[in-house]
């Protein structure tokens, strides 16, 4: 059994999709990050970084219970555990390269682009431009790579496509105000639509729907999500 620590945001969404694709038995445990539940000591014992997603696999290596945190680590772990969605062995260098490109580039720059366009004080044009344009540059790199390709790695649907889907789903926020946010990146748009059409996506989108997550942004939310904006008094 896998315990899946979840909030309806892009990085946990990747894991919801993998779990549904692989038909692994799992229990969803809501972590309401807007209420600060990611900072509870009981959750920090599972992810010392205090973010979702994280999993606990009660049947880890050697039959022991293990924790795994960070969406990319979880995708690689579950891929290896199940032998699914890792592509061909000869494509492993490409798989690792693209998965880490998404983990360290497209994902974080997308996240910061959303932050500076929706959460930060207005008027920080340098930061908005920096993060949005870097997110767009990563879209372009992926778009160029996808020319003539159906999936990111080899001929197969892999954890790289699952990972990309999580953040591409938020393209309208990354590219705030764009009519067709993925329009300038037709190969990326095609990949997103290919993944989006998979039946597992509809199931992944249902994950956590039975839980009422906090959906207002107030002072508690800001302190929970952006604690480094509130340094302790010295």
Nearer to ligand GSH, 104 or 186 (CB): 104
Which neighbouring-strand residues pair with 29? Answer: 5
Nearer to ligand GSH, 95 or 187 (CB): 95
Short-list 23, 48, 17, CA closest to 208 = 17
Q: Give yes or no for residue 33 binding ligand GSH (CB under 6 A).
A: yes
**3-class state of residue 119 by DSSP:** helix
**3-class state of residue 153 by DSSP:** strand
Residue nearest to ligand GSH (CB): 51
Nearer to ligand GSH, 38 or 117 (CB): 38
Start-to-end CA distance of the chain, whole Å, equals: 45
- What's the closest the beta carbon of residue 186 comes to ligand GSH, in angstroms? 27
Cα R_g (the chain), whole angstroms = 18
Q: Give yes or no for residue 9 binding ligand GSH (CB under 6 A).
A: yes
Short-list 35, 96, 84, CA closest to 220 = 35
- What's the closest the beta carbon of residue 198 comes to ligand GSH, in angstroms? 21
Residues between 37 and 66 with contacts to ligand GSH, criterion CB under 6 A: 38, 50-53
Contact residues toward ligand GSH (CB under 6 A) are 7, 9-11, 33, 38, 50-53, 70-72, 225
């Amino acid at each position: 059994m896998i315990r899946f620590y979840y909030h309806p945001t892009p990085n946990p969404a990747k894991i919801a999709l993998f779990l549904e694709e692989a038909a692994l038995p799992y229990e969803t445990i809501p972590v309401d990050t807007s209420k600060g539940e990611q900072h509870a000591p009981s959750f920090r014992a599972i992810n010392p970084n205090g973010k979702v997603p994280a999993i606990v696999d009660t049947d880890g290596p050697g039959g022991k219970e293990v924790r795994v945190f960070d969406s990319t680590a979880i995708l690689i772990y579950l891929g290896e555990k199940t032998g699914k969605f890792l592509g061909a062995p000869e494509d492993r260098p490409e798989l690792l390269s693209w998965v880490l490109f998404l983990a360290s580039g497209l994902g974080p720059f997308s996240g910061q682009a959303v932050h500076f366009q929706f959460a930060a004080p207005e008027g920080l044009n340098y930061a908005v431009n920096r993060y949005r344009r870097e997110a767009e540059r990563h879209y372009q790199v992926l778009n160029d790579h996808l020319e003539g390709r159906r999936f990111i790695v080899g001929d197969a649907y892999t954890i790289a496509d699952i990972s990309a889907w999580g953040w591409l789903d938020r393209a309208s926020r990354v590219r705030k105000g764009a009519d067709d946010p993925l329009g300038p990146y037709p190969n990326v748009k095609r990949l997103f639509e290919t993944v989006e059409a998979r039946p597992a996506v509809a199931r992944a989108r249902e994950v956590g729907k039975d839980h009422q997550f906090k959906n207002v942004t107030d002072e508690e939310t800001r302190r929970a999500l952006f604690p480094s904006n509130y340094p302790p008094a010295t």
